[in-house]
Homo-oligomer: A and B are copies of this chain.
Amino acid sequence: MTLAASVLDTGCLIVHGPDRPGIVAAVTALIARHEGNIVSLDQYSDDADGGAFFQRVVFHRPDFAAAIPELEADLDATLGAFGLEWRLTDQSTPKRMAVLASRSDHCLLELLWRHRRGELPVAIPMVISNHSTTAESVRSFGIPFFHVPSHGPDKTEAETALLRLLVGNVDFVVLARYMQILSDDFLERLGVPIINIHHSFLPAFIGAAPYRKAKERGVKLIGATSHYVTPELDEGPIIEQDVARVTHAMTAADLQARGAYVEREVLSRAVQWHAEDRVIRHGNHTIVF
């Protein structure tokens, strides 16, 4: 497949830290002296005068895997002098993504279907749901499905079961309309990024029932927001948002049906960008290259 071929022997280097003259030159020289050929380069500084610097470089290097140790040693030495942090990934190694879902299947199936088309560079070791309704659909994609019910106000048991399945097995988790709030303790013990899709244009309509609230306020556009999960509900760094036009004639149920298409699109983009190391978190913001 084209996509697979394009990531062979390809590295992605993320650099961030205090901006100083000469960083770009130092990074590109480093890649050049390790025989890398730059495929794409993005950089951003949030303030020309003493701001934070962010860079993403994708480069091709024959026999990349073998070169990693030398590259890493050089990066440590070179970027350490600038006080920068960095992260080097092998683009031919897909991130392992778990999907948590509930009854709704639109976001879940969209991710599985894009994955099958080769458009999401991830491995999907498991889908977990608190309902069993989508089990058959998921398994028809050849992906393991686990049912972890979540009854009553005490989520400890469910979260323990989730952690047993997830920890060590995944690099990030996607909440594809998973309608349960996860505890701070869960987030901490999971220890990998979680991407959520919220069914409104945040910060409008935080919390439950955003389509009903949208109908009540009489908005002319509805939206969806994909963001990283933090302990503050619906307050994490936003990765992507989009909207769709609605009219006075649409009921809250109509808004929900229309919004489903925005949700699946917004979540898919956010997941793809995260999987491709295009998203850098900085405080409560994201840099999306």
Question: What separation, in Å, do the CA atoms of A257 and B114 have in the docked complex?
Answer: 10
Chain A residues numbered 22-57 whose CB sits less than 8 Å from any CB in chain B: 22, 24-26, 28-29, 31-32, 35-46, 48
A residues 172-229 touching B (CB-CB < 8 Å): 201-205, 217-221, 223
Report the Cα distance A6→B36, complex, angstroms.
Answer: 34
Is A287 close to B, CB under 8 A?
Answer: yes
Residue-wise interface mask of A (58-86) relative to B, using a CB-CB cutoff of 8 A (1 in contact, 0 not): 00100000000000000000000000000
- Chain B residues lying within 8 Å of A106, measured Cβ to Cβ, are 117
A89 within 8 A of B: no
Is A237 engaged at the interface, CB distance under 8 Å to the other chain? yes
A276 at the interface (CB under 8 A from B): no
What's the nearest-Cβ distance from chain B to residue A64, in Å?
14
Q: Are B25 and A37 in contact (CB under 8 A)?
A: no
A interface: dominant SS: mixed
| Copy total for this chain | 4
A236 to chain B, nearest CB (A): 10
Which residues of chain B are near A247, meaning CB under 8 Å?
Answer: 288
* B32 A218 Cβ-Cβ under 8 A: no
A204, A218, A261: residue with the most chain B Cβ atoms closer than 10 Å = A218
CA distance A43 to B45 in the complex (A): 17
| A70→B35 CA distance, assembly (Å) | 29
| Of the residues B21, B117, B218, B238, contact of A219 by C-beta under 8 Å | B238
Report if A221-B241 is in contact (Cβ < 8 Å); known contacts: A39-B45, A140-B140. yes
Contact of A201 among B137, B201, B248, B249 (CB under 8 A): B201
The 5 closest A-B pairs by CB, nearest first: A25-B32, A25-B28, A218-B285, A204-B204, A21-B37
Chain A residues engaging chain B, CB cutoff 8 angstroms: 2, 21-22, 24-26, 28-29, 31-32, 35-46, 48, 60, 106, 109, 113, 117, 119, 137, 140, 201-205, 217-221, 223, 237-243, 247-249, 253, 257, 261, 265, 284-288
